[in-house]
A = this chain, B = another copy of it.
Amino acid sequence: MKTLLAATLLFVGMNLWAEPVSTLSPDGQIAVGFDVLDGRPTYNVTYKGRQVIAPSRLGIDLDLGPDLIDGFEIVKTSTVSFDQTWQPVWGENKNIRNHYNELLVEMRQPSTNRLMNLRFRVYDDGMGFRYEFPEQGPGFVYFVIKQEKSEFAMTGDHTAWWIAGDYDTQEYNYTESRLSQIRSLLPGSIDGNVSQTPFSPTGVQTSLQLKTDDGVYINLHEAALVDYSAMHLNLNDSTMVFESWLTPDAQGNAVHMQAPAVTPWRTAIITDDACRTLASNLILNLNEPCAYGDTSWIKPVKYIGVWWEMITGKSQWSYTADVPSIKLETIDYTKVKPHGQHGATTENVRRYIDFAAKHGFDQVLVEGWNIGWEDWIGKSKDKVFDFVTPYPDFDLDGLNEYARSKGVRLMMHHETSGSIRNYERHMEKAYAFMEKYGYNAVKSGYVGNMIPRGEHHYGQWMNDHYLHAVKEAAKHRIMVNAHEATRPTGLCRTYPNLIGNESARGTEYEANAGLNVNHTTILPFTRLQGGPMDFTPGIFEMDMSKLNPGNTAVVRSTIPRQLALYVTMYSPLQMAADLPEHYEQHMDAFQFIKDVAVDWDESRYLEAEPGRYIVVARKAKGSDDWFVGCTSGEQGHKSTLSLDFLEPGRKYKATIYADAPDADYRTNPKAYTISTKKVTSKTRLRMAAAPGGGYAIAITPLDI
């Protein structure tokens, strides 16, 4: 990454007295105050003169010995200003400005002689802080965090868009409620998942979106989650104080630390404009710069895949039903009877390759290509996959050769079934195998309970694994899209080959338990704050029984909204998830998916309200094309869009993919209209999204 502007480091001041200190955001609108009250570190945050985080205590419970809770005194405070603009390898914008004022509070616990610092960074759109444990001699090096006790004291019974705290899954629908309603609504918010571990009647996950009655949007999350366990928030619903709740390890501890060390940043995006919340780069800015020298091999990807047919039950990942269980070292698949429903057959994959090549997709994901799918799930099976051996009906060499001849790549799939030791044992060979065959992207999966048993998806152990996989993949110039991994916290800035994650309830649920209709109006506020999601939009056939007579699910979305998601759900990795034959029935609408960019020079959030609607316009990378997307909830959404983001004086053609007047996700999800219109920066478009609907607009200059 080149730095556009040299970083500005301005030494502002230093305070040697143990008195309350405070720091303002660059625009002066956000103030973070800090004090040690009765020996307890305490901070608060105001926004435009109003308190948004009331005095909140900070501290850490250790498993042994005196805690890092009280008895502190301030040794020194210092402040610094920082202003730098940097360029991500891929992203919503070409340039990102990292502009903050920093307050470092150095503290000492005289009874133990331990040192602990707090570092606050205050931005115009929020703030972050972390604990730091400086090197301080042999007396305090290794310690075990039983629980972090960071408070986020809310000032009222805010509205929240939340999912239940869980150590193993984030794949829940969001509930919109008052904080005071979480306790009563939480049990009903939890539906089944292969691996789930809720922990508290008022525990919720981050990123958590809140809104005060006077219109302030507060988003609580974390940034740069490295060598630490993921944080949940546990609500005291008498006081409306959230407290950090770290994911425990197999022994019930949270984190093993070695000083010098820092925690992840605890973040609060604070705005009075929902669009600004969506546009915030605070999480990325709190991560470290890119760790790689050469990033030329990291490229956004638009792909299709042999996947939705398995999700819907039209075909299977597995090859046979002939054997009660599989042992990879002894099974001979050529001796068993195929059940005939295997999706990843040579013939079927060729069909997808043909479709991808014809319509300009970069890659074809193939799930179920490798042996072991007969008993991969829910068995706590250690040696579940080897990641290199294809089923007999999958011609690995031939298909890769065929794809290459058509200018398409196959995308690798590594489902781990949560068996991490097994994956790590095979990882080097599996990545080398990918290099050999020309795969440069892997979708990895972590379905089910972890092995090592007792560890959780979001604990320190697993967080180390996910990052290990990304770093090892980088050595092979491989991009990673990890499903079921810990929700992202901006690490894609440092490791941009982490090109996607799932870590939330994605489109796959439309084929079974369902997504709430307003789900896609919430995810950009919550899950997407930390990084892109492989949401896999683009479903055109809403009736699952058309694919699998036994499947009664229906997708709760109109087709235009499915198109809009390529714009509203920012990701450098975008799938067209439906089957080629369904796209072939709607080639006019499919054109948008073919045209839409996956990397951007600029993004403008135009309208947004969590749970209601999001409208965003994005300018394609290195192009003058713009794409606009709108997703709406139950109520639909009406917009009068100003196209003032277009270059003044230029003329453009807008192709508008809109819900038909009678469209409705319940009754008429496929009713869409496509129209074209000449537009300029002065154009105002009146647009309407149906209930569960949306719209998508492709805007191209007419003068080139």
Return chain B residues, CB-CB under 8 Å to A144: 380
Contact A325 B380 (CB under 8 A): no
Contact A464 B324 (CB under 8 A): no
Task: Name A380's closest neighbour in chain B (CB-CB).
Answer: B256
Return chain B residues, CB-CB under 8 Å to A335: none
How close is A457's CB to chain B, nearest CB, in angstroms? 15
Return chain B residues, CB-CB under 8 Å to A136: 324
Return chain B residues, CB-CB under 8 Å to A324: 135-138, 141, 259
A residues 227-275 near B (Cβ < 8 Å) are 249-251, 253, 256, 258-259
Contact A258 B142 (CB under 8 A): no
A455 to B451, CA, bound (A): 12
A residues 443-488 near B (Cβ < 8 Å) are 452-455, 461, 464, 468
Contact B379 A251 (CB under 8 A): no
Please give the count of copies of this chain that the complex contains.
Answer: 2
How close is A575's CB to chain B, nearest CB, in angstroms? 31
The 8 Å CB contact of A327, one of B258, B327, B379, B381, is B258
Stretch at the interface among A104-112, A420-428, A546-554, A690-698: A420-428
Q: Does residue A375 face the partner (Cβ distance < 8 Å to B)?
A: yes
A381 to B425, CA, bound (A): 20
Known: A453-B250, A468-B425. A380 touches B142 (CB 8 A): yes
Task: Name A139's closest neighbour in chain B (CB-CB).
Answer: B324
Interface mask (A290-333 → B, CB under 8 Å = 1, otherwise 0): 00000000000000000000000000000000001101000000
A3 to B136, CA, bound (A): 65
Return chain B residues, CB-CB under 8 Å to A250: 250-251, 452-454
A138 to B428, CA, bound (A): 33
How close is A168's CB to chain B, nearest CB, in angstroms? 14
Return chain B residues, CB-CB under 8 Å to A380: 142, 144, 256
- Selected A-B contacts with CB under 8 Å, 17 pairs: A137-B324, A141-B324, A142-B375, A142-B381, A250-B250, A250-B452, A250-B453, A250-B454, A251-B453, A256-B382, A256-B453, A258-B325, A258-B327, A258-B379, A258-B381, A259-B325, A452-B454
Name 12 extra pairs, CB < 8 A, besides A251-B454, A424-B424, A428-B428. A136-B324, A137-B324, A141-B324, A141-B379, A142-B325, A250-B452, A250-B454, A256-B453, A258-B379, A259-B325, A424-B425, A454-B454
